[in-house]
């Protein structure tokens, strides 16, 4: 039994189950607001992170003035700087980028209108509530690693060689990443007009280069405005292959805040084969904690036929990193955003 004495009083027992997960549900009494309600504590057996009893506590439904990190300073490894729960741990000495919520337009690692096809004068405007507004109909928010982006430092676009090297520009390239963004979709194409989607993607560079588009490789997680999910593989710019759409993984997005995570990381099998795994996660109430995995895909070959365009195999698996991670959407006239981040994570 562990008891924690704060303005919210509660206690809980640690009860393991067969899957290594430990879940306890109980009630809490808030002495400040006199609120009584359920508090869910999800505990994940920690072979990576030590914390109280070597467990991670993800505390839901606490009053806003209670930060989960008050329970244990080690929880800082489980939440990002915005207080958002990490699905996977940040890699040791790994690249991290967090949106400058005070002055995002001045962030040298955050290129709001990098692509020449789009309005270079597009800027985010302050909503005065801590969030920012984007009103361009075609949005590409490029995030660079700490080494920046320099096409002249990319020695080859030969995908067979990139697979061997493991990176495109440098060892600091975005490869195994967790991309997070909180979005409020206010206006755009209606659901009946075949709506577009929010797309987070990585494992490539600029998508407008002259080298046959081979810098424009990517795996992409997509969440449509009407609540559907799928993944895309871009072997070069522009050539797409898509997974089957998972319909209605969440309700239509218009008019509400929600969180969207795209995760891609390499998994190593016992036969030394390396395959990328993609995951889409949604935080429907935008509390930063209650994430739900809605889709996943492993590229173990047979996906795509045009890899030879960039001197790879026809279904070349994109195992390498790239210098740019991108948050993208089209056909939305009014979108509010906050707490965007990209982190290099520990690969399984």
Range with the lowest mean pLDDT among 24-33, 97-106, 318-327? 24-33
- Dump pLDDT digits (tens) for 193-234: 566 999 999 999 998 766 789 999 999 999 999 999 999 999
Residues 29-55: tens digit of each pLDDT: 343 443 334 434 444 433 333 333 333
Range of the domain at 314: 96-344
Tally of domains within the chain: 2
pTM value is: 0.80
Q: How far apart are CA 131 and CA 201, in angstroms?
A: 22
Mark whether 111 and 39 lie in a shared domain: no
Q: What share of the chain is helix, strand, coil (3-state, %, to 5)?
A: 10, 45, 50
- 114 in the same domain as 62: no
Task: Say if residue 122 is in the same domain as residue 63.
Answer: no
Paired with 263 in beta bridges are 178, 279
Domain CATH code at residue 191: 2.60.120.560
Q: 55 and 139 share a domain?
A: no
Residue 83 resides in a domain:
no
Shared domain for 103 and 163, answered yes or no, is yes
Please write the tens of the pLDDT for every residue from 158-188.
999 999 999 999 999 999 999 999 999 998 8
Q: Is residue 89 part of a domain?
A: no
Do both 243 and 272 map to the same domain?
yes
189 and 234 co-located in one domain: yes
Counting DSSP H helices and E strands in the chain, the numbers are 1, 20
Same domain, 128 and 248: yes
Whether residue 90 is contained in a domain is answered as no
Q: Is residue 268 part of a domain?
A: yes
Q: Is there a domain that residue 218 lies in?
A: yes
92-134 residue pLDDT tens: 999 999 999 999 999 999 998 654 555 555 789 999 999 999 9
Please indicate, yes or no, whether residues 315 and 190 belong to a single structural domain of this protein: yes
| 68-106 burial code (b ≥16 CB/10 A, e <16) | beebbebbebbbbeeebbbbbbbbeebbebbbebeebee
Nearest-angstrom CA–CA distance, 68 and 86: 13
Q: Within this chain, do residues 164 and 288 fall inside the same structural domain, yes or no? A: yes
* DSSP state letter for 168: S
126 with 166, same domain: the answer is yes
């Amino acid at each position: 039994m562990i008891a924690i004495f704060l303005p919210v009083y509660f206690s809980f027992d640690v009860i393991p189950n067969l899957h290594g997960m430990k879940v306890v549900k109980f009630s809490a009494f808030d002495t400040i607001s006199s609120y009584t309600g359920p508090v869910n504590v999800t505990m994940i057996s920690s072979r990576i992170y030590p914390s109280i009893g070597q467990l991670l506590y993800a505390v839901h439904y606490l009053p806003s003035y209670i930060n989960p990190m008050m329970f244990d300073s080690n929880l800082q490894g489980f939440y990002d700087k915005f207080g958002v729960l990490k699905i996977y741990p940040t890699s040791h000495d790994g690249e991290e980028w967090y949106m400058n919520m005070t002055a995002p337009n001045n962030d040298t690692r955050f290129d709001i209108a990098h692509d020449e096809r789009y309005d270079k004068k597009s800027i985010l405007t302050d909503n005065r509530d801590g969030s920012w507004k984007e009103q361009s109909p075609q949005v590409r928010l490029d995030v660079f690693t700490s080494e920046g982006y320099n096409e002249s430092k990319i020695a080859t676009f030969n995908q067979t060689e990139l697979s061997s090297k493991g990176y495109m520009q440098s060892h600091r390239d975005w490869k195994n990443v967790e991309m997070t963004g909180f979005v409020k979709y206010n206006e755009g194409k209606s659901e009946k007009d075949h709506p577009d989607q929010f797309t987070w993607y990585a494992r490539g560079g600029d998508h407008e280069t002259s080298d046959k588009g081979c810098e424009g490789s990517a795996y992409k997680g997509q969440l449509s405005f009407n609540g559907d999910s799928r993944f895309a593989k871009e072997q070069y710019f522009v050539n797409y292959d898509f997974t089957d759409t998972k319909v209605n993984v969440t309700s239509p997005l218009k008019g509400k805040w929600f969180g969207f995570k795209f995760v891609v990381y390499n998994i190593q099998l016992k036969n030394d084969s390396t395959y990328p795994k993609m995951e889409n996660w949604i935080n429907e109430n935008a509390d930063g904690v209650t994430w739900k995995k809605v889709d996943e895909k492993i590229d173990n070959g047979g996906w795509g036929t045009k890899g030879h365009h960039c001197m790879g195999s026809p279904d070349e698996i994109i195992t390498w990193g790239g210098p740019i991670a991108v948050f993208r959407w089209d056909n939305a006239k009014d979108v509010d955003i906050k707490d965007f981040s990209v982190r290099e994570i520990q690969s399984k």
